[in-house]
Structure 1
Amino acid sequence: MSKNGLLYQRIAHNIEHQIQHEVLRVGDKLPSIRMICREHGVSMSTALQAYYDLESKGLIESRPQSGYYVTYSHKFFPAMPETSNPVYHADASGTDGLVAKVYAELGRETNLTFSLGVPAPELLPVAKLNKTMINAMRLLPAGGTSYEQVQGNSKLRQQIARWSFSWEGHLRESDLLTTAGCMNALAYSLMALTERGDQIVVESPVYFGVLQLARSLGLQVLELPTHAITGIDLEALKKTLQTKKIKACLLVSNFSNPLGSCMPDEHKREAVRLMETHGVPLIEDDLYGDVYFGQHRPKSCKTYDESGIVLWCGSVSKTLAPGYRVGWVAPGRFKEQVIRTKLYHSVSSTTLTQEAIASFLETGRYESHLRKLRHTLHTNSLQYLRAIGEYFPEETRVSRPEGGFLLWLELPKQIDTIKLYETALKFKISIAPGRMFTLQNQYNHCIRLSYGLLWNEQVERALKLLGNLARKMF
């Protein structure tokens, strides 16, 4: 990134921080462009870029012949969801049928898919990825048609290990095993550690793919209370480990799906300590960690793992190339079991896509792409929060993620979001009802929305329509 690019973002972040903490209030006039230039010693184009950035987030507006004014504040965003309180009246059939129904609609290009938690194709470097794939075919022996070694492409594992230093993971190439996406990494980890009938712990709500995977393996799932900011309730986790026979714990540590919560560093450290004390493996899904809106990537539970109790799983499916199915796991002390599981179930990972992603990481293109993606998604999240505050029922509560792609909405309890989903679908809008994210009969008034779409007037109109439909049901 250029020096000017860093400067305009720094100026914009400073003003946004003042708006967030009400140093600058709605209606306040901002310093003129010339004053910004003098105060920060920057060019006029840099000062303008900072204000354009704040305008794109819906926080300020330009008034002809007058200047720039604060138009919106975080104060007016909807309230946050409360800590979940999972019930234990299992009704898994409700989850399975609903997931199948929602995903049956995803292939329809006419639908506006707020239900899909991946970035829009327009936000991905497709042309650069195509060139990287062609180069991989040219450079690999036999054009990439040969099997990879069981642990996976060595160049890719080198790059992932190098990348881990950004969150103090300090992994080595030999610590890693490649997989066909993050779900595949989670599957190998669970298969290696558990047997049918075993109990595992997850957050609640939790990504429906985890629930379906666990049920397919014959596992019993305990859903624990979870906060929309700090993640799983550590006291509930501690009590569960003390009173029940738990075979594994599966957590999404950074910007979870669907809540968007991010465990604070001290919570991650404490969670690892609890796992070590009770001898329970921690499978960490760190799929969204690179999509942060702050100044630094958040650490992972693996950062604090000194005994090898954490199996750290990741992928580029949410950041770079969903269809390439490139993921990985650092299994810690369970490495041999996970390698054996992969050998039995797939022998090898896909050669070409691994090589292409390895080259993309090696050239530095990934970080350049991530900077743009993070900025776009942060802007999107603020626009969505503003729109939900304006168009949805007043009692609506919304998560406030500091990264990732997803918002969790709690609507008034009278609203059945499965009916809202069916009604919205008639208008070519697809949402994910909250009932998908639990095996219990709960979250029937909740929805998950993805802000990975390209923000435009069509998206705003769709959110307005969705809000109006919810108001009519209320």
Structure 2
Amino acid sequence: MSAAAPTLYEQLAEELADGIRDGVLRAGERLPSVRQTCRQRGISPSTVFQAYGQLESDGLIEARARSGFFVRADRPAARAAPRAAEPRHDATPVAVSELVFELLGSTRDADVVPLGSAFPAPHLFPFEALARSGARAMRRLKPAQITGALTVGESQLRQALRHRCTLQGVPLADDELVITNGAMEALNLCLQAVTRPGDVVVVESPTFYAALQALERLDLRAVEVQTDPRDGVDLEALEALLDRQPVAACWFMPSFQNPLGALMPVARKQALVERLARRAIPLIEDDVYGELYSGTRRPPPAKAFDRAGLVLHCASFSKSLAPGYRVGWAAAGRFAPVVQRLKTMTSLATSLPPQLAIADYLAQGGYDRHLRRLREALAVQQQRALRLIERHFPAGTRVTRPAGGYFLWLELPAGVDALQLHRQAMARSISTAPGVLFSADRRFTHHLRLNVGHPDDPRFESALRQLGELAHEAMAAAP
């Protein structure tokens, strides 16, 4: 299927990337300034910033304070990107939970190198500052607040979230926002609000295994849509799928998709929302990684283009600020009243102390400083991981270069069974997330998702080297 035409910033980024790879732009060379590029090409500064941000996240250039952008001298060698899968066209009953429990239970063991984990390294988060905020907020707690925050959430936190969303181009009505026990509760409530048992839900291929578990729990069927490892859902493939069968909803992760790391271009996000609105199909948007971009600006969520109230936007602080606090939210558009009723009937409320701690922390003004440090640490670690994969993994290994988040998706040579590789690695106390977890029909048998969000872990380099050795051995043993 044909993909959407590249935007201006994508065209500029690709042209400069070709020049770097071909040696026309040499290591250490300064790129034209944003102002020069605007004048020479007749484009806007935001277009140039987006293009330079893409090249920066791809590890091809670096920004130097008060000096501009320069071609990196230590950029990783270019591995080909994984290929987009051609998923089955029919809806599939989902049964993945037993496999997920078997393979990922070990990631809680501190002695295991957590390449299969879903979270970045704990030391990247400001737990001491959060603890101070929690103590300060609890001292100010009034008795009326204890019950006043039931169901929809604590008012100060909801106001802070609405303010951040407005600055990101997503104005929300006050009664649209519900605070939840992490993003997973938000996503599950939204899924339940727009489906009935037996319905068909479109997911990406590959997709996050927790989405498959949610479909399994609600007795829903999954149909996978072709998804580009860099640019996300193929809109033409989605249109063809929607023409073939009735669909109750789509569950997509448009920004830094798990496991691919794909980032849908802005124009494609807008087109996605508009196309689904014409068919009155709800979009459940999982945006838990939206703050972890490695370029210059936060990508707008799909919710920014919602004019019909059909985008149910879900996110949390679990990946960006406070793992374990379990504070998430849903902005469910026209379905907000249904989500609120479901919240009341299930968990009733989200624990108040974590909400108060986060609300106080946001009010202190340190969140964006923390995010800048976190994004920088994750981007540097991604480049380190790409260099190690280039050095240690077999020829023919393909790997993504996400513009944010902390996952890499590897397509290993066909002779390597990723599930077997995972089990061999576990014998060496190294976890991975094999590709079979990320599809209802357990495809992606020679793919791996690796969590590279653990800078300063002295075991990291050895773990990637050992994984590469195991992959070489698997290829040698293959018939």
Amino acid at match of 2:238: L
Indicate conservation of the 8 Å contact 2:88/2:223, yes or no: no
Deviation at 1:143, TM superposition (A): 10
1:117 corresponding residue in structure 2: 118
1:81 corresponding residue in structure 2: 82
CA distance in 2 between partners of 1:387 and 1:275 (Å): 41
Indicate conservation of the 8 Å contact 2:149/2:155, yes or no: no
CA distance in 2 between partners of 1:347 and 1:457 (Å): 43
Post-superposition CA distance 1:246-299 (Å, at most 9, x none): 111111010000000011111111111111111111111111110001110001
Amino acid at match of 1:168: G
Indicate conservation of the 8 Å contact 1:179/1:327, yes or no: yes
Q: 5 Å matches for 1:285-304?
A: 285-304=286-305
Structure 1 residues 415, 350: closer, same or farther in 2, change over 3 A?
same
**SS of alignment partner, residue 449 of structure 2:** strand
**SS of alignment partner, residue 201 of structure 1:** strand
Deviation at 1:422, TM superposition (A): 0.7
Deviation at 1:244, TM superposition (A): 1.1
Structure 1 residues 335, 58: closer, same or farther in 2, change over 3 A?
closer
CA distance in 2 between partners of 1:334 and 1:440 (Å): 30
Indicate conservation of the 8 Å contact 1:86/1:224, yes or no: yes
2:263 corresponding residue in structure 1: 262
Deviation at 1:97, TM superposition (A): 3.1
Q: Does 1:317 align with 2:325?
A: no
**SS of alignment partner, residue 313 of structure 2:** strand
- Ranges in structure 1 where 5+ consecutive residues have no aligned partner: 1-14, 32-53, 61-68
Deviation at 1:16, TM superposition (A): 11
CA distance in 1 between partners of 2:79 and 2:388 (Å): 10
CA distance in 1 between partners of 2:161 and 2:23 (Å): 41
**RMSD of aligned alpha carbons:** 2.5
Structure 1 residues 144, 334: closer, same or farther in 2, change over 3 A?
closer
Amino acid at match of 1:361: L
Indicate conservation of the 8 Å contact 2:162/2:171, yes or no: yes
- Ranges in structure 2 where 5+ consecutive residues have no aligned partner: 1-15, 31-55, 63-70
1:159 corresponding residue in structure 2: 160
CA distance in 2 between partners of 1:204 and 1:379 (Å): 28
2:470 corresponding residue in structure 1: 469
CA distance in 2 between partners of 1:173 and 1:20 (Å): 49
Using the size of structure 2 for normalisation, the TM-score is: 0.84
1:437 corresponding residue in structure 2: 438
1:359 corresponding residue in structure 2: 360
Q: 5 Å matches for 1:136-175?
A: 136-142=137-143, 146=147, 148-175=149-176
CA distance in 2 between partners of 1:442 and 1:117 (Å): 20
CA distance in 2 between partners of 1:411 and 1:182 (Å): 31
CA distance in 2 between partners of 1:315 and 1:235 (Å): 30
Deviation at 1:91, TM superposition (A): 8.2
Indicate conservation of the 8 Å contact 1:147/1:351, yes or no: no
Q: 5 Å matches for 1:362-377?
A: 362-377=363-378
2:234 corresponding residue in structure 1: 233
Amino acid at match of 1:322: P
Structure 1 residues 376, 402: closer, same or farther in 2, change over 3 A?
same
Deviation at 1:173, TM superposition (A): 3.2
1:186 corresponding residue in structure 2: 187
Indicate conservation of the 8 Å contact 1:117/1:452, yes or no: no
Q: 5 Å matches for 1:15-94?
A: 22=23, 25=26, 71-74=73-76, 76-87=77-88, 92-93=94-95
Using the size of structure 1 for normalisation, the TM-score is: 0.84
CA distance in 1 between partners of 2:101 and 2:151 (Å): 33
2:211 corresponding residue in structure 1: 210
Structure 1 residues 140, 23: closer, same or farther in 2, change over 3 A?
farther
Deviation at 1:144, TM superposition (A): 7.2
Identity of paired residues, percent? Answer: 36
